[in-house]
Chains A and B, each alone.
Chain A
Amino acid sequence: MTDPDPVPSTTIADRLRVAGPVRLFIGLVGVLVLFGPVVMWGLGARAGVIENRPFAAKPTLSQGFEFSDQFTAFFTDRLPIREDAVDVRRRVSQELFGEAPQAAATGGPVGAGSGVSGGTRYVEDRAQQVLPGADGWLYFGDDFVRACRPEQPVGTALTQIRRLSDALRAAGKNAAIAIVPDKSTIETQRLPEDLPERSCAADARKARYDGMAALRRPDVLDLRGALQRLQREVRGPVYVPTDTHVTTRGSAEYVRSVVAALDPEAARTARLVDQQEPFVYTGDLSVIQGQPQQVSEPTLLFDKPGVRKRPSEDVAPITGFPVTRLRATGTRRAPVVPGRTVWYGDSFTQRALPNIAAFFRDVWRVPELSNVGAAKEPEVAVDFLIDQIRQSQNVVLETVERNAFGRVGGSILNPEVVDRMVAELAKDPGVRSPGRP
C-alpha cells in the first residue's frame, strides 16, 4: 500500500517548544482540575444529597471484584463538585440553549472494536427530563414520552378501563375510576415553546379523553373537566409550578369529585377551610432538575362539623408497600361514605389523605402497583388489592394519566392485571354495596 501522497509521518519527534509561562499555566490548571475535588474534600467540602436517595454504601473487600463497582458508586456520590456540575450543565442548557439538559451518553469509545451499538434511550432519558417552560414553570418529560410512545395503544388502555368498570359493577361495588390529568394536560399556557412532541401529545390526549367520554360510564370520572372548572374559578393554576402534582386546592377538588361520585350527600356537607398554616415541601420536578426549590401552599382541609376522625393506622403487607387505614364517624347531618372503602392510588392520593380522612367511615389506601415494594412482589400486591376490593363496598381506582395510558408495567391498566382482577372478582366478588343489585 505505497502512497504517492503521504499523510504526515506518525513517528514522534519532540520538537516541543512551549513557552515557560504557558507551560506553568497549563501545569497549574491541570493540577487544579485533577486534584481540586480531592483537595476540597480534604478541606471539608462534602457533597449534598441531590438525587433523593441515600448515598451508596461503603464498599468492602469481601465483595470481591464487585468492590470496584461499589467503590465507584461510593466515590461518585461523594464527589464535592457534583452539585455545582449539575447546576452548570443546567444553566448552560437552559440559559444558553433554552432547553433541559440531555442525559449523558455513557460507556467507552464507539468504533473501537467493542462491537456494541447503542439503542435509543429516548424513552428512558426523556422520561427523566424536566422541561423548563415559561415563567419558571417545570414540566415532566415523562408526560410526553408516555403520550407519544405509549407502551400500549390508547384503545387497549380504554378497554381495560371498561373491563374494570364492568367487573366492579358486576361485583356490586360502588366504584369510581379516577384518571388524574397530567400537569401538561391542564397547565398548557406555559409549556416550552419548541416541544418536539407537541403534535403527537395533543393527538394522544384527544384520543384519551374522547375515548373516556365515549365509554359513558358514570364511574369513570372526568377529572380534567373538574380541574379546568377549578382553574376558571380560582383564576389561576391548579398545579404547582415546580412539582408534578396539583395544588392543595386542586387536591381537594380531586377528593371532592371522587366522593361526590360515590356518595353525593357526603360530598355536599363538607366545606374547605384554610388551616392558616403553610404546607411546605420541595417541588419534585425541582429535585429531578438538581435544583431543589421549596413550595409553600395554604393547608386546606375539609371540615365536616360533627365528624370525628380516628388516628390513621399503617400496615405493610409487603415491605415498602404501606397501606393506610383511615376511619371517621359521621352524623346524620354530616354523613360519611358508609361501609368499607378501598382507595387504590399513587402520590396524588397519598397527598390527599388528610382530606380523604374526613369523608369515609373506613377507607384503606393501597399504593400503586409501580410502588417500590409492589415491584418486588407484584403478584402479592395485586392479590392484596383484589382481597381489599372483595372486603369493600366502595372502590376507588386512581392513577395519573401518563401511567394509565402510557405504561403497562406497574399500571392498574396492565391487561394481565385486569385479567386477574376480572377473573377473581367473577369467582368471588365479596361484599356488595347496599345500593347495588
Chain B
Amino acid sequence: MVFASPIFLWAFLPGILIVLWTAPKKARNLLVSVASLVFYAWGAHEFVLLLLACMAVNFAAGQAIDSERMHANPRRRKAILIATIAFDLGILAVWKYGTFALQQIADVREAFGGDAGDVLQIALPIGISFFTFHHISYIVDVYRGVRGAQKKPLEFVTYIAMFPQLVAGPIVRYNEIADQLPNDAPRNRWDDFTAGLPRFMLGLFKKVVIADALAPIADASFSLNPDDMTTGAAWLGAIAYTLQIYFDFSGYSDMAIGLGRMIGFRLPENFARPYSAHSVTDFWRRWHISLSNWFRDYLYVPLGGNRKGGGRTYVNLAIVFLLTGLWHGSNWTFIVWGAYHGAWLLIERRTGLRTLPRERWMWPRRALTFLIVVVGWVFFRASDLGNAFDMLGAMFWPTGGALPPEVGVALGHQATFLLIAASFVVLLPGGFVLGRYLEFGEGRVADAARALTTAVAGPYAALLVAAGTFSPFLYFQF
C-alpha cells in the first residue's frame, strides 16, 4: 500500500483515524501496531512474517543485552550485539543483495568462458532497508546505554512497524521516539490531526502533482537508445530526475511526518532544502538527513570518524559512502553514485572548501554543488553504467538533433510548467523549509499557507490520485 493511492486515502487512513479517535487513548499503540502490520502485509503479503521474525529477534536481543545478568558479562553482551547485527544485516544481504551477488558470480563465470546459468531471483521485501536500520539503531543504542531496552512488546512493534515511516522513512532512532511511545503521554487528538494534516497534504501535492509529472520526462530520456540521445534530451532528463527525486522523496517524507503527527508521533525531519546546499558536505546535511545521521552514528563514528588522522578519516568516509550507495539499491550504478559523492567529500575536506564561510562565493558554490549533484543523479537513475555514461556523454559532448518524440510527448505544457516552477526550489534560501513552516510557523501568513495547502493543494492532489487509477480497457472496441 502506498500513501498516494485510493485505498490508503479513503479506506485505510480514515479507518485508522476513526478508530484512534473513538477508542480509549491507552489503546493507541495496539491500534497503531495492528494497523501498521495490516498496512505492511497489504503490499508485502507474506513478507510480514519476515518483519515479525526480525522484530522478535531484535526485541529478544534487546531484553538480553539490557538484562542485569548480561551487564555483568560484557563479552557475552557484545557477542549478542554482534550476532543480532549480523542477523539483521544478513537478512538485508540475502533479500536485497542476494540476486545481485549471484548475478556478479554468474557474470564472472561467463567472462571466463563458463556457463552463466539461470540466476535465482529473490523478491525484495518492501521497506527492508528501513526496518533493518531501525533494528540496528535500536540494538546499538540499547547496548551503548543510550536507552534501556523496550520492555513492552507492543511499544516495540509500534516503534518498528509504525506505518508512516515503515516503508520509506524517515529512519527514526529509538532515542528520538522512546518518550512518545507510552500511551499515557499527554496529547490532544484534534491538535495532532490538524497539525499533521497540512504537512501530509503538502507531501501529497509534491509527490502526485509535481514529482509524478516530471517522472515521464526522466523516464523517456533515460530510456533512449544511444543513437537517439541528444544533448537537449540528456540535460532535460537529468534535470527532470533531479527535481523528481527531490519532490518525490521529500514529499513522501512530508507525508510520513504529517501522518505520524496525525496519530500522535513526532518524526524527525528528513530534508532541509538540499538543492540550496553550498557544498557536497552541506548537501549531505540536508538530503535524507535521517540516513546520513544513521551512517554517521552507527558506522562513521565507530570506525573512528575523524579522530584517527587524515588518512584514516578519508578511508572511513569512503567506506561510509560506498555503503550509502549500496544501501540505495543492488546495482553498480548506486555504488558508483555513493563513491562519487564520497570522492567529492574527500576533495572538499582536503582542500578546506567545506570550512569556507557559507556566504563566501555563495552563488557560484551553490551552482557548482547543484551541478555536481545533478551529475550524481545520472548514475543513480541510470539502468546500468553504460546508460549512465551514454547520458553523461550526451550531456557534455554536444549532440544535436530534434528532441526524440518520447521526450517531446513527456515534455507537455503541464510538465514544462511544473519543471520550470519546480526549478525555483534550487533558488530558494537554504534556511526555509516549507514543511516545517506549515507545522510550526506562526502568524497569519503561516495560517493562510496551512489553509491553502489543506483546502486546495491537497484535495487537488487527492483527485489526481483517484483519476490516476483510470485505465480503460482498450481492446474492447479494437
Residues of A within 8 A of B (CB): 1, 3-8, 10-12, 14-19, 22-23, 25-27, 29-30, 33-35, 37-38, 50-53, 65-66, 68, 71-72, 75-76, 79, 81-82, 84-86, 88-89, 92-93, 96-99, 101-122, 125-128, 144, 148-149, 196-197, 199-200, 244, 284, 287-288, 290, 346-347, 370-372, 400
Contact = CB atoms under 8 A, between A and B. Distances in A.
- Chain A CB within 10 Å — which of B167, B410, B413, B478 has the most? B478
A19 B447 contact: yes
Contact of A111 (B245, B450, B465): B245
B463 A88 contact: yes
Contact of B193 (A4, A30, A38, A127): A30
B389 interface: no
B467 A26 contact: no
Contact of B167 (A79, A108, A120): A108
Contacts of A101: 467
Contacts of A53: 472-473, 476
Given A33-B462, A65-B45, A115 B472 contact: no
Given A144-B405, A197-B405, A23 B194 contact: yes
A287 B472 contact: yes
Contacts of B454: 25-26, 29-30
A1 B316 CA distance: 11
B14 A88 contact: no
Interface string B146-178: 000000000000000000000111000000000
A26 B194 contact: yes
A49 to B, nearest CB: 10
Given A25-B455, A26-B450, 9 more contacts: A7-B282, A23-B190, A26-B197, A30-B454, A34-B14, A68-B41, A108-B252, A112-B252, A118-B215
Interface string B333-366: 0100000000000000000000101100000000
A227 B478 CA distance: 20
17 contacts: A7-B285, A8-B272, A10-B269, A16-B195, A22-B450, A22-B451, A26-B454, A35-B14, A50-B470, A72-B7, A79-B466, A85-B467, A86-B466, A109-B252, A111-B288, A127-B474, A288-B472
Interface of B: 1-2, 5-7, 9-11, 13-14, 17, 41-43, 45-46, 96, 124, 126, 129-130, 167-169, 190-191, 193-195, 197-198, 207-208, 211-213, 215-216, 218-220, 222-223, 244-245, 248-249, 251-252, 266, 268-269, 272, 281-282, 285-286, 288-289, 296, 300, 305-306, 327-331, 334, 355, 357-358, 380-383, 402-403, 405-415, 417, 430-431, 433, 436, 439-440, 442, 447, 450-451, 454-455, 458-459, 462-478
A27 B245 contact: no
A-B CB proximity, top 6 nearest: A115-B329, A196-B408, A104-B468, A120-B223, A85-B466, A65-B45
A27 B198 CA distance: 10
Contacts of B406: 120, 122, 149
Nearest to B306: A1
Given A65-B46, A244-B478, A33 B11 contact: no
B369 to A, nearest CB: 13
B414 A97 contact: yes
B409 A126 contact: yes
Contacts of A8: 272, 431, 433, 436
Contacts of A81: 463, 466
Contact of B216 (A97, A105, A372): A105
B216 A125 contact: yes
A99 B7 CA distance: 29
B329 A199 contact: no
Contacts of A120: 216, 219-220, 222-223, 406
B323 to A, nearest CB: 12
A51 B471 contact: yes
A122 B334 contact: no
Looking at chain B's contact residues, the main secondary structure is: helix
Nearest to A131: B409
A7 B465 CA distance: 34
Contacts of B222: 117, 120
A200 B219 contact: no
A139 to B, nearest CB: 13
A98 to B, nearest CB: 6
B409 A284 contact: no
A294 to B, nearest CB: 15
Contacts of B469: 76, 79, 82, 104
Contacts of A144: 405
A93 B212 contact: no
B233 to A, nearest CB: 12
A144 B477 CA distance: 19
**Interface residue SS majority, chain A:** loop
B463 A76 contact: no
Nearest to B273: A7
A16 B11 CA distance: 29
Contact of A99 (B124, B413, B431, B450): B413
A173 to B, nearest CB: 27
B464 A99 contact: no
A52 B476 contact: yes
A288 B476 CA distance: 11
Nearest to B253: A109
Given A7-B286, A68-B43, A89 B463 contact: yes
Nearest to A4: B355
B220 A112 contact: no
A52 B472 CA distance: 6
Given A8-B431, A99-B413, A115-B124, A34 B467 contact: no
A181 to B, nearest CB: 15
Contacts of B2: 107-108
A153 B327 CA distance: 42
Which residue, B5, B216, B383, has most C-beta atoms of chain A within 10 A? B216
A12 B265 CA distance: 10
Given A111-B249, A120-B216, A99 B412 contact: yes
Contact of B330 (A12, A14, A104, A115): A115
A37 B226 CA distance: 47
A199 B219 CA distance: 22
B129 A34 contact: no
Given A115-B330, A196-B408, A18 B474 contact: no
B220 A110 contact: no
Contacts of B266: 12, 14
Contact of B464 (A19, A85, A126, A148): A85
Contacts of B463: 81, 84-85, 88-89
B126 A110 contact: no
Contacts of A34: 9-10, 13-14, 17
Nearest to B292: A1
Nearest to A368: B478
Contacts of A14: 266, 440
Contacts of A50: 470, 472
A295 B1 CA distance: 40
Contacts of A15: 440, 442
A286 to B, nearest CB: 10
A72 B41 CA distance: 13
B203 to A, nearest CB: 10
A52 B473 contact: yes
B477 A52 contact: yes
Given A82-B469, A104-B468, A119 B383 contact: yes
